[in-house]
Structure 1
Amino acid sequence: MDGSAPTETPSWPEEPGRLAWTGRAAWADALARLVDVLEAARVTRLCWVTQDPLAWPWEQAELLERLAHWARPAGRQWLWLGGDYEPVRHGAPRLMRWRATWDHRVQCLAVDEPRQLDGRECLLAQGLGLIERLPGPQVQGRVSTDPRELVLIARWFDAVSQRATVTFPVTTVGI
């Protein structure tokens, strides 16, 4: 025995169905814990739906490092469904660098009309759970592991993504 403390199996942030966080720092912490759960559960597919990607705390270096650790094994895929990706190019340099490295794992899809996203701001870990940013002026969110809700959101995501267009290349080619 090396004297180190036993490692805990990561668990979802807070109790599912209840308010899981309030404030940006708590949200970033909840996402970091979620990524740890993804790794432990060997989740291979993430579905991120956002109309405002800059509102998510993906610019935090520690969070992107954990996400890179999750993305490393073969077969991992992050599907990103949104509207206008251009603000990310200029407003999220760390996320852009991360995405350039992991472009083979990330597919960005754009909808024609933002209303197609039904106002959703969520990250779905296929078969495991959902973390959702709640609408409103405060940064608040909830977690769900309800199998029925996960199936409904996954079906909705698949239906909308089938009508979306692959977009947002890491580099642009110009003449």
Structure 2
Amino acid sequence: MLLREVKKHGVNSISFFVRGKVVTFSRDDFLLITGLWRSPTRVVRSEESSQELATRYFGNQSTSNTFHLNLLEEEYKNLVFENDDDVVKITLIYYTKVAMMGKNKQKSVDDRTLFEDVEDIDYYNNLNWDTIIWQRTLDALKTAPNDKVGLYKEKVKGNKNYVVKYSFREFPQAFQVDVP
């Protein structure tokens, strides 16, 4: 599908030529499918937010301003939590990073701000997820097939069974279930 992209000037959508028609996947489509609507309230992060959660469960492996997503993924199933709140918070980080933002295997170092954000659960729940996740997903959709069309045309000449492969990052599930 991504190889059928129609270059348009819309910054908040991506369009494709399918069966003689231009089909567009927009921010509104994404939000309708995911339910990630903008929170009507703005919550300011508590000044008490810290890296305490990251330090408690990942110790000195999380002391810098970056955090290795691979560490979270590997250690998550073995963590022994001190309380139910920590289970919820670490699970939110895990789901957000692995499912919603997608793991980029080429870039395993991650920003630790989600640990700070989730320390104040009201702040975390009121983050502008519609913008955060949508923009990352749109950018990933637009860049996934970079240079793949030329590569496909070149390779298919020598092998009619050649298949172009590329990876989706971020939250492509919404794109995958969108039925025009």
Give the TM-score range, shorter chain: under 0.3
The structure having more radius of gyration, on CA atoms, is 2
TM-score by length of 2: 0.26
Higher strand share: 1
TM-score by length of 1: 0.27
Higher helix share: 2
